Amino acid sequence: MVKTIAGITLVLLLSVLNTAYAADDKALRAERYEAQKQRQQQKNERQNKNRKSISNFRNFTRELNLEYKEKTRSLETEYRLQRVELKAQRDMKIADAEANMQQQLSQLFINPQTGDNKEAIDKLRADMKIHADKVFEIKKQAAEIEHKEFIDNENRKHQLLSERDQKALDKARALGLMDKYSPIIAKPVGGKLTRQEEQWNEKENIEVEKLYKSNQRQLAEFIYGVKLREWEIANKQADFKLEWDKKSELHDLNQEQALYNMLLLNPAAYSEGGQKEISEKMADMSKRSRIINIKYKKINDQNHIKRSEERRKIRNME
């Protein structure tokens, strides 16, 4: 009889405990559900806020770009007018120098025996070199002046666009687009996280990082703008130097070719043996010219490949 009563008592006790546990479990589920609901609401609010901020930023920068496009266009128009004036001044100097050179070259036709007179040929070569060097120097100096004005104009545009970039980034900062959002983390309810809550936290950290990178892409043009423009200006400086290094190498060759072209145009100016010598020298100069052009084409092609990768890294902000 005593055992029966004890058994009944144990059953009743277990029933009460199970009921209590069930009540506690239900309360925890309800609390977790409410916490999950609040987190989702916060996440939705964050997404809406970010979406509105991006829309606001795009509208702002659209107007900003139009404003600064007009400013840079004014600078470009002013520079192009200045370039026309510089080019006219350069062409006048070149025309004058080339006229003097042409007078020297005409001596070959005035004196058809020049080709048989080594002293006359040497003098003609020396005179041609003097005038060719003068014309080349005029062209180079004029190109340097024009290039300096071009770079100065690029720097003025760069300064304007850097001002634009800063305004855009200031706006982005005010809209909260420059900073990384804090993740909405699930906190333990009932002493520990459930597997679902752990997955939420893992996903939330990933989504916050993705949102930050997405915002960075929206701002990228204004973040890397200064670096990209400075890099482009430096490349233009390097390209100008490379161009004139090539022209300098070809210069002596070109003026020597000009002399022999004049000799070939005057059959009376050379003997039969001289004709063969001139032809051989012309062939050699043509070969040397091709080699120089190949060398600089290789450099330009290599620069193109390297710069494509450098540009990609700048734009990806690596």
**Mind spelling out the 3-state secondary structure of 146-202?**
HHHHHHHHHHHHHHHHHHHHHHHHHHHHHCCCCCCCCCCCCCCCCCCCCHHHHHHHH
Instruction: Please report where in the chains the tokens 């309810």 appear, as a residue.
Output: 189
> pLDDT higher for 260 or 13?
260
> pLDDT higher for 90 or 5?
90
Its pTM stands at 0.78
Percent of the chain, pLDDT > 90?
57
Given this model, what pLDDT does residue 54 score? 96
Burial per residue of 285-312, b for 16 or more beta-carbon CB atoms within 10 angstroms, e otherwise: beeeeeeeeeebeeeeeeeeeeeeeeee
pLDDT tens-place string over residues 9-37: 544 444 544 554 455 578 888 888 999 99
Check residue 189 and report its DSSP letter. S
pLDDT tens-place string over residues 91-145: 888 888 777 767 666 655 555 554 455 676 677 777 778 888 888 898 899 899 9
- Tell me if 278 sits within 8 A of 264, measured CB to CB: yes
First to last CA, the chain: 84
- Tell me if 123 sits within 8 A of 49, measured CB to CB: no
What's the CA gap between 32 and 190, in Å, rounded? 9
pLDDT tens-place string over residues 176-188: 999 999 999 999 8
Contacts for 239 with CB less than 8 Å, ≥ 6 apart:
303
Given this model, what pLDDT does residue 267 score? 57
Percent of the chain, pLDDT > 70?
81
Given this model, what pLDDT does residue 171 score? 97
Check residue 316 and report its DSSP letter. T
What's the CA gap between 55 and 57, in Å, rounded? 5
Given this model, what pLDDT does residue 135 score? 84
